[in-house]
Amino acid sequence: MREIPGAWRRTADGAGLRAADGTIGSTIFAEMTGLAASTGAINLGQGFPDEDGPAVVLDAAREAIARGVNQYAPGRGFADLLTAIAEHQERFYGLRLDPERDIIVTAGATEALAATLLALLDGPDNEVVVFEPYYDAYAAAVALAGARLVTVPLRWPDFQPDLDELAAAVTDRTRVILVNDPHNPTGAVFAPAVREQIVRLAERHDAVIVTDEVYEHLVFDGAHVPIATLPGAWERTVSISSAGKTFSVTGWKIGWLSGPAPLVSAILTVKQYLTYANGSPFQPAIATGLRLPREFFADLAATLRDKRDTLGRGLRAAGFAVSDPRGSYFTVADASALGATDAADFCRTLPERAGVVGIPLTAFASAEHRDQFATLVRFAACKRVDVLDEASRRLALLGA
Ligand code: PMP
Ligand code: GLN
């Protein structure tokens, strides 16, 4: 068995990925959603909305099925969706993409990440610098690619990286700097100086920036700034996004990536053997969504900002300390005032004690760094306001 450093290891016995403790772990999201289902607790764990997205988008998918859009899409995605993605990048960010060469539609952001990392990484001499805590699929994909994860800590309460620690992590061994902005699980939006430092270091060490921006339309103050728009960034950046969060269709798994054509072609080489193509009738529906007026996108962010505020008030009233997120679905709360010393234990008993499910931040950290997040819990705000109110009422009983 060959061991790969990181939170996961790859095994040679055909069993695929195993958790670092040797068990075949289910993801924390599956575990916690299962716990919510078996206990009837309110699921503020897995990040999915409990309301449908825009009706025109849902109708467009139904209409596409009725129209017979039911066979394989082209490997890169349908031309109209590629065009809609290019239009979206220009309308919101002033980025001008060639739809035929600079974009690929993928099976969610997850496939975009996996294909990108598998295409760019080649064995244990390649390092991927990632901000910790990190979305769990990152460590798994880096392990699949046989590369090494190098972490830069994000610390409570603002979760911005230290620029010197970031500089120390990036070396000539760094093949990829993996960014997630807005950030899951912390809700951080990186400061301009952080983005600039990432680009500077990528240029200095000839690294590729892979940026996961699935929460691009869930920024609460001001506009989202894609790293690809910074001077010097475009030619070395792969930008990833997904329809799941923007149109409340996480189950459709339509994502995309964009970047300079040579990088995109390398990734397509891998992607064509992962899924080849997916979600034919959903692709025209997402093209419809991406062309919705600006107000739709502004309302989405404003609605989630209100939900963030509702959740934050409830958590504070229950005795948690709260890090106010600047974006994403998520709020991180410190449960130490409620007696927590181990977030995983706290979250496993929370459904029984309070009828609410959250995700321990330790699930987003490598084994050697888990103690830094030992009392922190991630709660999802992407739920109906009445659900958030009920969760708040239940959590308030914790300290009673
Ligand atoms: N990246 C991040 C940061 C996420 O939070 C998620 C899912 N919530 C994904 C990627 C996966 O996106 P998708 O469902 O489109 O594969
Ligand atoms: N991205 C979602 C979250 O962070 C979960 C997706 C999944 O279950 N893999 O909650």
pLDDT along the chain (400 residues), means of 10: 51 43 67 92 96 98 98 98 98 98 98 98 94 94 92 97 98 98 98 98 98 98 97 98 98 98 98 98 98 98 98 97 98 96 94 95 91 96 98 90
242 Cα: distance to centroid of ligand 1 (angstroms) = 7
3-state helix, strand, coil in the chain (%, to 5): 45, 15, 40
- Where would I find the beta strands (DSSP E) of 137-235? 148-153, 174-180, 208-212
How far is the centre of ligand 2, averaged over its atoms, from the C-alpha of 98 (Å)?
A: 31
pTM of the model: 0.94
Domain segments of the chain: what residues?
23-52+295-399, 55-291
**Which CATH topology does 23-52+295-399 take?**
Aspartate Aminotransferase, domain 1 (3.90.1150)
Cα separation, 395 vs 392, in Å, equals: 5
Proximal ligand: closest to the CA of 141: 1
pLDDT at 31: 86
For residue 359, which ligand has an atom nearest its CA? 2
Say which CATH architecture domain 55-291 belongs to: 3-Layer(aba) Sandwich (3.40)
Atom of ligand 2 nearest to the CA of 30: 8
Q: Is 281 in the pocket of ligand 1 (CB under 6 A)?
A: no
Ligand 1 pocket member 108 (CB < 6 A): yes
> Using a 6 Å cutoff on CB, does residue 241 contact ligand 1?
no
CA 29 to centroid of ligand 2, rounded, Å: 6
- What are the residues facing 242 on neighbouring strands? 255
Indicate the burial class of 114 (C-beta count within 10 angstroms; 0-12, 13-18, 19 or more): buried
Q: What is the whole-number distance in angstroms between the Cα of residue 326 and the centre of ligand 2?
A: 19
- Beta partners for residue 331, in sequence order: 379
Residues 6+ apart with CB under 8 A from 289: 53, 54, 56, 57, 60, 243, 246, 247
E strands present in 203-358? 208-212, 237-242, 254-258, 321-323, 330-334, 356-357
DSSP letter at 370 equals G
Q: Do domains 23-52+295-399 and 55-291 have the same CATH topology?
A: no
Q: How far is the CA of 213 from the centre of ligand 1 (A)?
A: 9
Q: Cα separations (Å) of 357 from 8, 75, 328, 380?
A: 24, 38, 18, 9
